[in-house]
Structure 1
Amino acid sequence: MSSANPTDDPVNRPEDFDLATSWRQIADELDRQRTPLEVQALCTPHGIGIPRIGLGDRLDVGGTTADGRIQVVIRGRDPYTLAGELAGLVAWLEVTGPAPLRAHLASIGDALIERYR
C-alpha cells in the first residue's frame, strides 16, 4: 500500500478482535499457500536444531516415536526444490512420505554417488 484516503465511514470492529492474532493467521495462511507440499519425516533428537534453523516456520515438530526420533512435517513449494533442501539433512532426517519425494531423494543420492564415486 502506498497511500490511503480517509473517509467518514464508520469502522465496526468486533469487541474480541485482536489485530496481532488476525495478522498472524493471515501470514500463516499465505505461507501455507506458498508452500503447499507437506512431507513427513523422522528426526534424530540431537539433530532437531539443524532443520529448525534451516527450515524455520516450514517445520512443524510433533511427538516422539518409540525409538526416540521426533515426528516432523516439512512444507515446501515443490518436490524437486524440497528434495534438494532435505538431501543435505540426511544425517538427521528420514523422510517417510510421500513416496514420490522419497524417490526423488533416492535419485539425488544415486547422482551424488555417480558423480563423486
Structure 2
Amino acid sequence: MSCVEPTGDPVHRPEGFDLAESWREIADEVDRRRTPLEIQAICVPHGIGLLRMGLGDRLEVGGSTADGRIEVVIRGYNEHTLAGELAGLIEWLEVTGPPGVRDHLASIGNALVERYG
C-alpha cells in the first residue's frame, strides 16, 4: 500500500498507550535486527567519547575494570565487517570476544604489516 485515505472511523487507543515509548521499542528492535552480533571489549576512559561518536546506539557502556578501563558491548552486522570497523580504534579498544572478531582483527593487522611494515 502506498497511500492512505481517511475513513472517518474513530481511533481507539488502549489505556496507558504511550506512542513515543512504543516507537522507541520498535526502532530499537529494528536496530538490533540490523546489527545482530554483539562483541565485548574494554576501552580506555578517554576513548569512550570517540566510540560514542562513531558507534552511536550500537555502543553499550558498562562498568570499570580493575585497571580503570571500561567494559563495552558493541553491536554490528557480522564479525568481518565489525572487525574492519574497529581496527582503527585499537589504540583505545581491546576486543575480548568473540574469538572470531579477534581472529579477523589479527588478519587485518597481519595484512597491514605485510603491506606497510
TM range (shorter): over 0.9
CA–CA separation in structure 2 for the residues paired with 1:66 and 1:10 = 59
- Aligned pairs (5 A) from 1:16-95: 16-95=16-95
Unmatched 5+ stretches in structure 2:
none
Q: Which moved more, 1:48-57 or 1:5-14?
A: 5-14
Unmatched 5+ stretches in structure 1:
none
Deviation at 1:47, TM superposition (A): 1.1
CA–CA separation in structure 2 for the residues paired with 1:65 and 1:9 = 57
Which amino acid is the alignment partner of residue 19 of structure 1? L
RMSD over equivalenced CA pairs, Å: 1.3
Deviation at 1:5, TM superposition (A): 1.6
Q: Calculate the TM-score normalised by the size of structure 1.
A: 0.94
CA–CA separation in structure 1 for the residues paired with 2:98 and 2:55 = 18
Deviation at 1:92, TM superposition (A): 0.3
How many aligned positions are there? Answer: 117
CA–CA separation in structure 1 for the residues paired with 2:79 and 2:61 = 20
Q: What SS does structure 2 have at the residue aligned with 1:25?
A: helix
Deviation at 1:11, TM superposition (A): 2.6
Q: What SS does structure 2 have at the residue aligned with 1:5?
A: coil
Identity of aligned residues (%): 73
Runs (4+) of structure 1 exceeding 3 A deviation are none
